[in-house]
Amino acid sequence: MFPVYILVIMVLAFVLAFLCLAYCFIYKRHINRALVNAQTRRHMPAPFHVTLAAAMVFLLLIVIAGLAIIFRMDYAVLDSQDDNPTDINTICAEISEIEIGATAAENSMTVEALEYNYESYHAELTFHLYEGLEIVKNGRKISATELKAGDVVAITLLTDLSGVEDIIKVEVLDKHV
């Protein structure tokens, strides 16, 4: 869909150009009449003065419209963030089952979320462990095969705009957490 504000700016520019052109014709007619009858000539501002003033008004309108659009968009973004305050969440859980398949695409782990997570994560969750997933234990990268049932892990999830969560990092924690 074509943005409405661009259409409004184009219409305003067209109207401004039309008015400046009309003023030039009126000014030309006024000057021609004044040359014929010098006694009744009234003062009219020169066209370049009128065009300059109109351009300044037009630029002022564009700045005001731009600020209004930015202000409106900023509040729209803030309103959309109220439903989902963050797009990255970390939950702590204990691995209850780990399945290592023949390929990396078949690897998965089932975890039982610990009680101090968000309410939406108080359940048994299953995650696929794709190839290239960052799995860390004691500050070093490990493979999915080194994970075992009973490990306490911190799972970092990324939520996209459609609400789909994807696991981006698994960190094995000490049991004392």
pLDDT of residue 136: 93
Q: What is the pLDDT of residues 90-139, one digit of tens each?
A: 888 889 998 888 776 788 899 888 877 766 666 788 888 888 889 999 88
**Spans in the chain with pLDDT lower than 50:** 82, 84-85
Verdict on whether the full-model pTM lies above 0.85:
no
Could you tell me if 130 and 104 are in contact, meaning their C-beta atoms sit under 8 angstroms apart?
A: yes
Strand partners, 140: 137
Give the whole-angstrom CA distance, residue 53 versus residue 57: 6
Q: Which residue has the tokens 């094995």?
A: 172
pLDDT of residue 30: 85
pLDDT of residue 172: 92
DSSP 10-29: HHHHHHHHHHHHHHHHHHHH
Side-chain-facing half-sphere of 124: CA atoms under 13 Å:
6
pLDDT of residue 48: 85
**Greatest CA span in the chain, whole angstroms?**
104
Give the whole-angstrom CA distance, residue 106 versus residue 131: 10
Could you tell me if 170 and 98 are in contact, meaning their C-beta atoms sit under 8 angstroms apart?
A: no
Of the candidates 170, 84, 78, the residue with the CA atom closest to the CA atom of residue 127: 170
For residue 8, what are the contacts with CB-CB under 8 A and spacing of at least 6?
A: 65
Q: 88-173: which CATH architecture?
A: Beta Barrel (2.40)
pLDDT of residue 176: 59
Give the whole-angstrom CA distance, residue 30 versus residue 40: 11
